[in-house]
Amino acid sequence: EPLNRYETDFINTAEQVMQLVRDVNHDHTGVLLDTYHMNIEEKNSANAIRHVGDRLFHFHACGCDRGTPGNDHIEWDPIVAALREVKYDGSVVIESFTTDVKVIAKAASIWRQFEPSREDIAIKGLQFLRSKFK
Contact by Cβ (8 Å): 31, 83: no
Exactly one of 15, 41, 85, 95 is catalytic; which is it?
95
Q: By C-alpha distance, which of 5, 95, 87, 85 is closest to 47?
A: 85
Helices (H), ranges, 1-134: 14-24, 35-41, 45-52, 76-85, 102-107, 118-132
Question: Known catalytic residue: 1?
Answer: yes
**Which residues are tagged catalytic?**
1, 95
